[in-house]
Structure 1
Amino acid sequence: MEELSPSKQLFRKEVLEKGDTNSLGTVFLRQPKEYQWIAVLMFLVVSGLLVFLFVGTYTKYADVFGVITVDKGLVKVSARREGQIIEQLVKQGDSVKKGDLLYVISTDRHSSFDQNLDQSILAQQMELQSSLERDIAIAEKASGLELALIKSKVSSKAIEIEQINEQLDIYDRRVDLSSAGLARNEKLLRAGHTNQAQLDQVIEDHLSLQSKRNDLLMKLNSTQSLLVELKNELELKPGNFKEKHNRLKRTLIENKQRITEVSSNIDYRIYAPLNGVIGNQLTHVGEFVRPGNVMVSLIPQGSQLQAELYVPATSIGFIKPAQEVSMRYSAFPYQHFGLHSGKVLSVSKVISLPEELETSVELAGAVYKVIVGLDSQSVRAQGEEITLGVGMELEASVKLENRSLVQWVLEPIYSLRNR
């Protein structure tokens, strides 16, 4: 006999049996198989969503604008004076060496009589140049002849002085002999062996000899003085000739400078300042240019094209060197030519204002400059490689951050918690 629990012992057996029966009959629970499939499907969907939220990632990009530049800088060649381009010797893409002629610019001026003023002035200066060159040649020849003449005079006077000295020696002996004869005649006169008339004749001859000797001595002094003057002149003449020659030479140099100035007023030439490749050409033959007008840009030899991006301050904190960048060139629509890749080379640490940047890109506010190295220096179009041009505008997509989807979904909660 089954033993009843204490709670059941409070009631009679009939009461308990009455409670075990249902007056309405037995209840059956019907579960269609479709509900089971739906439950399994919902479980799989929810599980898939959870896996997707935890495994899937969300990447945030920033679209920024920029231009193509060169790593060694772009050299801009400008006009020095106002004029008209009459000759252009290069075109875009040409390689040039330092000193190569790029442009010839005419700066002709005309008078009211339709005369070319600069050409007229140049003709006068050229005529003056020829005259000065003739004067210098004549002066050099004259100086040589004059020096030779002075040297000849010096030599002649030296010989003349020697001859005078020889004559003086003769006259000295003659005077000595005359003095001795005069003394003898005076003794003879005192002894009565001669008369006074004969003595007077001897005295006259003696005085005549002395007079001639004195004249010869004066001539010697005069000749010696003249010789000294000639020697002094011979010493001074080269200096005088040199001074005159230098004066003519200075005038000649000044006139050459004037010719150069006038020639440059007629036309002047622009040469390549360094080795490189011709970039953008902003002027052509026949155009008028003013001082400072940029005529052509020159890409230094060995330069590499790069992209210069202008990133707002709100996005700069996520950009790091070596980060990959996708670019779309304005000249090559990405729908036809695809995206072009590169890597960040450097990020500016200084913010720049729009007016501080020389760029064609319109900027709304202050930006940071980010330099991107290009994976390719050209774009393939219609079966050929087309080199990118300096100054070409572009749009770039820069990856800022990469987070899981669950972090992205829960970001509002994180932001509320951090408040």
Structure 2
Amino acid sequence: MSTICQNTLTSASPDSPQAAPAEHPAAVNDTFFRKEVALAHANQWMGAIRLAQPMSVRIVACVALAIALCVFAYIFVGTVTRKARVTGMTLPAGGSLTISAMNPGILSRSFVTEGQAVVAGQALFEVSTERQGGSGEISMLVAQQLTIQKNTLVAERRTRMAQHRDKTAAIDERLLNINAEALELEQEIALAQRRRDLAKASLAKYETLQGNGFVSAAQTQQKQEELIDLGARVSTLARAKLQLQASRLNLTAERKASAGELDNTIAQLQRSEASVDKEIAENQSRKTSLILAPQAGAVATITYRPGQAVLAAQSLALLIPAANGKQTVEPLEVQLYAPSRVMGFVATGQTVLIRYQAYPYQKFGLQRGRIVDISKAPFAPNDLPPHLASTILSNAQQSAPGGNSSEALFRIRVQLSRQSIDVYGVAQPLRAGMTLEADIVQDRRRIWEWIAAPLLAAAQR
């Protein structure tokens, strides 16, 4: 067969239209094979072989090239943001106050409604703690006995004061009599001293006359006796004067002692009355107690209604304090609680992207905030606010299923850029206690830097 083909090719004339001239004689001379083989391959009667390239192949190649360029551009221009996902809730920036019941009982009256503004000292609730006994309501019976006891003390105080007035009047009267008697005694002493002086002058005259022989010695002796009697009279009157002075001093001291005794008695009675008043107030508090607002603000939530039973220290309402003592309420902020494993790169000033659970972010978008404060130490579960602890721990457990429920959490305070959210074209104000998830934007770098990070780290060693 091959012999026939070779003869056919050899017998073909070079002038034949079907024969093709040699295109590459140099290649024919340099070939490794025989000359006949080269000529057989060079003189192909059907012409040179050309491969057809359809348009679809070019399109695919262009598309692949465009995709490759886009990938390279994305790698060199695109960025990767590292985020930390945590949970939290909205709370007033100035905190919130829990209004609690002081004693167990029945909530009898509520003086406020939710959203109402109150001032410091305003009555919020009235709790009834009445107890019934066989003879009636116990606190009422105790109040009657305490009232009788107080009336008795008041009557005793009035009696002691009346007795003191009578005694003081008697002493004052005796002092007046003594003063009058002392005045008369002074006059009597003056007369007695005058008589004694006259008797002394008369005795001197009698002694002179006796010396001249005009009077007898008996007469002179009689004058001496009269002088002695008058001296004794003056001494008796002086002693009586001293006794009156002593009586005056005793009455004055008795008057002062009576006043001091009255003061002591009145003080004891007043202490007893104060003790009774305290017992009356305590008994009244056992019957009903008023719960007042500790400071100005707005009542956010009322958890109990009149007629419901409450326990001691049980929360009745939540009060949002007013801003700086004014009537305006503190704006809301977001408080995030994060475990220690995500706190390595968290810093103040970082941007926070917030997703409220009440408003799905797929429809209402992400809300922005900025970190303004980070707690220096973590909060143990027991240190969290009592009315928020269960919600905070539950949200933290949901955001990190592998975490420990007893793990301490850091508090991150976030200032909101807006106090409302657009809901179908209407600005809906945010409310305290709304739960949320947040992404803390920590680091932003290009994709090629992220890919080359291991190489760069190895080069720096």
The answer as to whether partners of 1:319 and 1:400 remain within 8 angstroms in 2 is yes
Q: Does 1:82 align with 2:109?
A: no
1:181-192 equivalence runs, <5 A: none
For 1:260 and 1:164, the matched residues in 2 are separated by 62
Q: Partner letter of residue 349 of structure 2? A: A
For 1:356 and 1:226, the matched residues in 2 are separated by 76
Q: Does 1:111 align with 2:133?
A: yes
Q: Does 1:278 align with 2:320?
A: no
Q: Does 1:97 align with 2:119?
A: yes
For 2:454 and 2:311, the matched residues in 1 are separated by 61
For 2:267 and 2:147, the matched residues in 1 are separated by 20
CA offsets 1:22-42 (integer angstroms, 9 cap, x no match)? 255531314345144443333
Alignment partner, residue 278 of structure 2: 257
Identity of aligned residues (%): 23
Where in structure 2 are there 5+ consecutive unaligned residues? 1-24, 207-225, 324-329, 398-402
CA offsets 1:90-118 (integer angstroms, 9 cap, x no match)? 222222222121221122122223x1121
Alignment partner, residue 397 of structure 1: 439
Alignment partner, residue 49 of structure 2: 28
For 1:61 and 1:92, the matched residues in 2 are separated by 38
The answer as to whether partners of 2:350 and 2:442 remain within 8 angstroms in 1 is no
For 2:191 and 2:370, the matched residues in 1 are separated by 114
Structure 1 residues 36 and 172, CA, compared in 2 at 3 Å: closer, same or farther?
closer
Alignment partner, residue 18 of structure 2: none
Among 402, 407, 413, which residue is 1:371 paired with? 413
For 1:23 and 1:176, the matched residues in 2 are separated by 195
- Partner SS state of residue 438, structure 2: strand
The answer as to whether partners of 1:280 and 1:390 remain within 8 angstroms in 2 is no
Q: Partner letter of residue 100 of structure 2? A: S
For 2:427 and 2:165, the matched residues in 1 are separated by 73
Structure 1 residues 417 and 357, CA, compared in 2 at 3 Å: closer, same or farther?
farther
Alignment partner, residue 191 of structure 1: none
- Partner SS state of residue 396, structure 1: strand
For 1:138 and 1:167, the matched residues in 2 are separated by 43
Q: Partner letter of residue 115 of structure 2? A: G
The answer as to whether partners of 2:96 and 2:319 remain within 8 angstroms in 1 is yes
Q: Partner letter of residue 141 of structure 2? A: S
For 1:315 and 1:175, the matched residues in 2 are separated by 119
For 1:218 and 1:401, the matched residues in 2 are separated by 112
Offset at 1:314?
4.4
Q: Partner letter of residue 28 of structure 1? A: I
Structure 1 residues 26 and 407, CA, compared in 2 at 3 Å: closer, same or farther?
farther
For 2:370 and 2:151, the matched residues in 1 are separated by 66
CA offsets 1:308-344 (integer angstroms, 9 cap, x no match)? 2233444433444333323232334445644332222
- Partner SS state of residue 257, structure 1: helix
For 1:116 and 1:217, the matched residues in 2 are separated by 74
In the alignment of these two chains, the number of paired residues is 399
Among 289, 295, 311, which residue is 2:338 paired with? 311
Offset at 1:385?
5.4
Structure 1 residues 213 and 335, CA, compared in 2 at 3 Å: closer, same or farther?
same
Offset at 1:269?
1.6
Alignment partner, residue 163 of structure 1: 184
Offset at 1:413?
8.7
Offset at 1:225?
5.0
TM-score relative to the length of structure 2:
0.69
The answer as to whether partners of 1:315 and 1:400 remain within 8 angstroms in 2 is no
Structure 1 residues 151 and 82, CA, compared in 2 at 3 Å: closer, same or farther?
same
Structure 1 residues 378 and 219, CA, compared in 2 at 3 Å: closer, same or farther?
same
Among 230, 235, 241, which residue is 2:262 paired with? 241
Offset at 1:85?
1.5
For 1:20 and 1:384, the matched residues in 2 are separated by 84
Offset at 1:154?
0.9
Among 316, 320, 326, which residue is 1:299 paired with? 320
For 1:299 and 1:20, the matched residues in 2 are separated by 99
Alignment partner, residue 169 of structure 2: 148
For 1:146 and 1:253, the matched residues in 2 are separated by 27
Structure 1 residues 416 and 217, CA, compared in 2 at 3 Å: closer, same or farther?
closer
Aligned CA RMSD, in angstroms, stands at 4.6
The answer as to whether partners of 2:337 and 2:412 remain within 8 angstroms in 1 is yes
For 1:214 and 1:48, the matched residues in 2 are separated by 140
Structure 1 residues 319 and 168, CA, compared in 2 at 3 Å: closer, same or farther?
closer
Structure 1 residues 389 and 177, CA, compared in 2 at 3 Å: closer, same or farther?
same
